[in-house]
Amino acid sequence: MSKDDARLERLQGMLRQRGIILPAFDLYGGAKGLYDFGPVGGRLRSRLNQVWLDHWLSLGNVVEISCPTVTPYEVLEASGHVGEFSDFMTVCGQCDEASRADTLLEGYHPNPDALAKAELQSLLEEVNPECPSCSSRDWSEIIAQNLMFSTTIGQGSEGFMRPETAQGMFTSFPALYRHFRERLPFGAVQVGKGYRNEISPRQGMIRLREFNMAELEYFIDPNEPLEHDFSSWSSKIFNLVDGEGTLHSMSLAQAVEKELIRHATVGYFMGKTYDFLVGIGIDSSRLRFRQHAADEMAHYASDCWDAEIEGSYGWIECVGIAHRGCYDLEAHEKATGKTLRARREFSEPKIVEIDGWTIDGGVAGPAFRADAGQVKTIVESFESSVEFPADITLSDGRVVTVQSEHVKRVQKTVKETGEWFIPHVVEPAFGIDRILWHVIDHAFEETEKAGEPYRMLKLADSIAPIDVAILPLFEKDGMDELALELHQRCCQKAGIVSLYDGSGSIGKRYARADEVGVPICVTVDHQSVEDRTVTIRNRDDGSQTRISMDELPFL
């Protein structure tokens, strides 16, 4: 076992014992890929969510929404998840090793990932590749393994648990567009659960079947480059790994200018992401951004940068910042026939001369009956120079003759002041559990105290699950009453979580508080009973100061 593995095990043991992160349904033997946030972890998670929300809402043109996790089949069919969000697996008949069919066929097709199941099956049979583990050539039929959790809605309609929160924001586009008075750019954020029925969840909190995600969908006009202020990062050098794996160390503004980052808004959100992660305690030296290679991109993305954080499991993708283009809104438009567009006014109105034909409904209607609609479409496509009577061919091959009394000349001037277009979307998507894991990993500090191992979580104040621990030096002589009174006062303060601990020696209580990352401990001692002063102990350096208990900074 390596040194890091041993540290990881000690950390996980501590997290279980202190009620931060525990295996879910442990009582029943546990359930793979599912975790509980315990009495301390629950608060930690909600704090992190709140800091995340505040961070993005501060942009000023972003709103928070909340959509269902249960999602109708059609929505995820339109978004491409039903078709794309699956792996096609095949099993070796000799060694039982399961492989992805598209991976096996990589050398035989430019993009096997894009093939439909039947095409993939026939290509597999044609090529019959070697098994990577036993070199035989004996493959089972391909099985589609969809990564979404199926469910039934009501009596019989099919649905899924959402694999991402994003679709709810796309389907809410009309309400968002109205809310923002039909002016781009704007965004919507959502924090909530997502579900992926992973074949094999691994690495603790890193790959889960139910997980917390936080996503921003930022809608922009692709024709109007946005002005983004990169000045706050001007002196920061970012670690940027491009699609070929080459590391570039430069400022964000430079990277955008050199088009290493292809879109300024993506670059801007990378900066905002950096601020968020470092703000909650991620070690900036163990943070980098990596661009997806073309073949690595999700089915909806046209450019994507991941924020990767280094921790006990190596470099892990914790945030994906994707340029989704108009993919999603267009897909939902096509599926529903509804308009999911924004209006762009021209700087100068366009004058369009229309000179052509249309049908005279009163005459052509009775004459062509069911075909009248088709006749109209065809006639309206004619140049003004066409002469009637004219023979036209309908879609089923029949030929009808259009007489001059069936048609009318159309001549008008139309002024177009703008046009409708499908907005593009830039999406920063955060894996909250992965981030939380790395926050803990980076905050976990092992030292020694009097020869004994000593552990603490140096969590940022903004996410610490417990703000203050109130400790009576002894539970007697009035110290316990005074401490309880103070504890009650703290708890009544909105946003403050206080922990009362009167059990064990004072040193032991400090140690326990340090393990759950309480930034300050307030100790009520004999002098407190005399003059209502208390000592405040700082977690990170152990320093203590005495102060009147009525003047505590957070009250």
Partner RNA sequence: GCGAGCGUAGUGUAGUGGUUAUCACCGGGCGUUGCCAACGCCUGAACCCGGGUUCGAGUCCCGGCGCUCGCACCA
Strand order in the sheet with 186-195: 62-64, 186-195, 210-220, 424-431, 314-325, 303-311, 287-291, 238-241, 247-250
* The token pair that represents 155 in the structure block: 């009596």
State the greatest distance between any 2 C-alpha atoms of the chain, in Å, as a whole number. Answer: 111
User: Contact, 238 vs 454, CB < 8 A?
Assistant: no
Q: Which stretch binds RNA (CB under 7 A): 227-235, 267-275, 323-331, 431-439?
A: 431-439
CA dist 210 and 190 (Å) reads 16
* The token pair that represents 437 in the structure block: 């894991």
Closest to RNA by CB, 388 vs 454, is 454
* The token pair that represents 324 in the structure block: 């989704």
Q: Which stretch binds RNA (CB under 7 A): 29-37, 255-263, 371-379, 404-412?
A: 29-37
Number of residues that bind RNA (CB under 7 A): 77
CB of 99 to RNA, least distance (A): 6
- Which residues neighbour 256 within 8 Å (Cβ) at sequence distance 6 or greater? 230, 264, 267
Q: Which stretch binds RNA (CB under 7 A): 325-333, 372-380, 381-389, 426-434?
A: 426-434
Cα 116 to chain centroid, rounded:
27
Q: Which stretch binds RNA (CB under 7 A): 37-45, 90-98, 179-187, 341-349?
A: 90-98
Q: Does 544 bind RNA (CB under 7 A)?
A: yes
Q: What is the full DSSP assignment across 97-162? A: -EEEHHHHTGGGSS-GGGS-HHHHHHHHHHH-PPPTTT----BPPPEEEE-SPEEEETTTEEEEE-
Q: Which stretch binds RNA (CB under 7 A): 9-17, 185-193, 462-470, 547-555?
A: 9-17
The SS3 call for residue 283 is: coil
Site for RNA in 156-175 (CB under 7 A): none
CB of 304 to RNA, least distance (A): 8
Q: What x/- string results for residues 503 through 542 when contact with RNA is judged by CB under 7 A?
A: xxxxxx-xxx--x-------xxxxx------xx-x----x
CA dist 549 and 555 (Å) reads 9
Q: Does 449 bind RNA (CB under 7 A)?
A: yes
User: Contact, 312 vs 441, CB < 8 A?
Assistant: yes
Site for RNA in 130-149 (CB under 7 A): 132, 147
Site for RNA in 453-512 (CB under 7 A): 454-455, 473-474, 503-508, 510-512
Q: What x/- string results for residues 96 through 135 when contact with RNA is judged by CB under 7 A?
A: xxxxx--x----------------------------x---
Q: Does 185 bind RNA (CB under 7 A)?
A: no
Among 431, 465, 517, 519, binds RNA (CB under 7 A): 431
Closest to RNA by CB, 322 vs 375, is 322
CB of 33 to RNA, least distance (A): 6
Among 199, 247, 335, 386, binds RNA (CB under 7 A): 199
CA dist 455 and 440 (Å) reads 12
Among 43, 45, 81, 196, binds RNA (CB under 7 A): 196
CB of 229 to RNA, least distance (A): 26
CA dist 160 and 494 (Å) reads 38
Closest to RNA by CB, 33 vs 129, is 33
CA dist 455 and 449 (Å) reads 9
Among 368, 430, 465, 468, binds RNA (CB under 7 A): 430
- Tell me which residue of 174, 258, 257 sits closest to 219, measured CA to CA: 174
CB of 244 to RNA, least distance (A): 18
Closest to RNA by CB, 44 vs 429, is 429
- Apex 528 CA angle, 524 and 533, nearest 5: 100
Cα 300 to chain centroid, rounded:
13
Among 429, 443, 486, 490, binds RNA (CB under 7 A): 429
Q: What x/- string results for residues 286 through 325 when contact with RNA is judged by CB under 7 A?
A: ----------x-x-------x------x---xxxx-----
CB of 192 to RNA, least distance (A): 12
Among 140, 150, 203, 548, binds RNA (CB under 7 A): 203
Closest to RNA by CB, 93 vs 418, is 93
- Tell me which residue of 85, 92, 214, 83 sits closest to 142, measured CA to CA: 92
Closest to RNA by CB, 350 vs 449, is 449
* The token pair that represents 412 in the structure block: 């008008």
- Which residues neighbour 255 within 8 Å (Cβ) at sequence distance 6 or greater? 238, 240, 248, 261, 267
Q: Could you tell me if residue 3 is left (phi over 0), alpha (psi between -120 and 50 degrees) or otherwise beta?
A: alpha
CA dist 461 and 245 (Å) reads 36
Q: Does 269 bind RNA (CB under 7 A)?
A: no
Closest to RNA by CB, 306 vs 467, is 306
Q: Does 32 bind RNA (CB under 7 A)?
A: yes
* The token pair that represents 112 in the structure block: 């096997």
Q: Does 17 bind RNA (CB under 7 A)?
A: yes
* The token pair that represents 47 in the structure block: 């704090």
Closest to RNA by CB, 442 vs 512, is 512
CB of 162 to RNA, least distance (A): 13
CA dist 465 and 190 (Å) reads 22
Q: Does 434 bind RNA (CB under 7 A)?
A: yes
CB of 70 to RNA, least distance (A): 19
Site for RNA in 354-413 (CB under 7 A): none
CB of 171 to RNA, least distance (A): 19
Q: Does 23 bind RNA (CB under 7 A)?
A: yes
CA dist 233 and 173 (Å) reads 32
The SS3 call for residue 477 is: coil
